[in-house]
Structure 1
Amino acid sequence: MARPRSTDKRNAILAAASRVMGELGLSAPTARIAREAGVAEGTLFTYFASKDVLLNELYLELKDGLRMAMLGGYPDTASLEERARHAWSGYVAWGLEHPQERKVMAKLTLSDRITPETRATGSAAFNAITMALREVTAAGPMAVQGERFVGAIMTSLADTTIEFVAAYPDKASEYAEAGFRAFWLVASGH
């Protein structure tokens, strides 16, 4: 009879994958990931049938952490600007607290090894933010480009903000506010 799988081992493998892939990229060997997690390589494949399964699970795990940061305490009934600021602030805070995960998320987002189904699952968790982006986009100068384009602009500006806040922590609040204002101006026109 097979032993039940341990949540702790699964989480250790995912955490190790994030660390190792942050260092070596998505081509990092599974043997290194297993060693970093403190398990045998065969154990890694007990939890994740293939490296692609591991990558897809890691993508969802990272997306979930980002979702919690952006949507925790989300002010559903606040103004559109306040909702956008809440999501923005959550993204920036997550990026600053989890630089390695942010780096891996960027690589996974561009990877063709992430399945369309996994991408859809990851995106569905952000429906409140998608709806807010749709609302701000419809009323703003980017209406023709749509919320996906505005979302990409938000991500780019937030990533730039994270880089500057990390490099110049004494000006963190200034850069965070300037980044949000730039996004809001582009997205809403005000």
Structure 2
Amino acid sequence: MARPKSEDKRLALLEAAKVAVAELGLGAATSLIAKKAGVAEGTLFRYFATKDELLNALYLHLKLSLGKTMMENYRPGSSVKERARAVWSGYIDWGLISPAASKAMRQLAVSDKITEETLAQAAQLYPELHELAEACVTSEFFSCGQSAFADAIFFSLAETTMEFASREPNEAGNYKTAGFEVMWRAMTKG
């Protein structure tokens, strides 16, 4: 009889995958992930049938964590720009608190490993964020369905903002503001 799966082991595997992907990219070996989680490699495959399944689960796990942080100061009745500013600030704060999670998310978000099903599940976690993204990306440069390109630009701007904010914590607020204004102008008509 198969032993029941433990949520603690599943979370340990996701956390280990986060660190491994942040350190080594999507090519991180499952044996290393299992070792970081303190389990045998066979145990990893009891929880996730394939490495791609693990990466998709990690993507959803990180999206859930990120979404919670981004929604903390989200005010549905405020302007699109103010909602976008709240989401941007939440994203930067999340990245500063969890640099490994941020780095892993950036790699997963622009990879071809994340399935359409997983993307649909992620969009359902916080539908208001998905709607906000649709409302924000109004630049003619992104009007032809280039969401992966827009995501990559967003992540690059956010990464630069996080890098400077982490180097100069006393200026973090100024970097968040400047980074947001650059992102806003790039993604929108104004």
Fold shared by both chains (TM-score > 0.5) = yes
CA contact (8 A) 2:25 2:107 kept: yes
Q: Match of 2:142?
A: 145
Unaligned runs of 5+ in 2: none
In the alignment, the residues of structure 1 paired with residue 109 and residue 187 of structure 2 have an alpha-carbon distance, to the nearest angstrom, of: 23
Whichever residue aligns with residue 83 of structure 2, its letter is: R
Rg (Cα) greater in structure: 1
Q: 1:124 to 1:9 in 2, by over 3 A?
A: same
CA pair 133-59 structure 1, distance change in 2 beyond 3 A: closer
What is the count of residue pairs matched by the alignment?
187
Cα 1:52–1:136, aligned 2, differ >3 Å: closer, same or farther? closer
Structure 1 counterpart of 2:142, one-letter code: Q
Residue 25 of structure 1: aligned partner: 25
- 1:132 Cα deviation after fit: 2.5
Query: Partner of 2:157 in structure 1?
Result: 157
Residue 144 of structure 1: how far off its partner (Å) = 6.8
State the TM-score, normalizing by the size of structure 1. 0.86
Residue matched to 1:46: 46
- Aligned-residue identity in percent: 45
Deviation at residue 11 of structure 1 after TM alignment: 0.3
Per the TM alignment, residue 126 of structure 1 is displaced from its structure 2 partner at its CA by: 4.1
CA distance in 1, matches of 2:80, 2:108: 30
Q: Distance in 2 between matches of 1:110 and 1:22?
A: 14
Q: String of CA shifts for 1:107-165, please: whole Å, max 9, x gaps.
A: 21232222221122223334312323433445xxx257338466654443222211211
SS at match of 2:3: coil
What's the RMSD between the two structures over aligned residues? 2.2
Structure 1: gaps of 5 or more residues: none
Structure 1: which amino acid aligns with 2:94?
W
The answer on 1:174 being equivalent to 2:171 is no
1:90 aligns with 2:90: yes
Q: Which residue of 1 aligns with 2:100?
A: 100
CA distance in 1, matches of 2:56, 2:189: 37
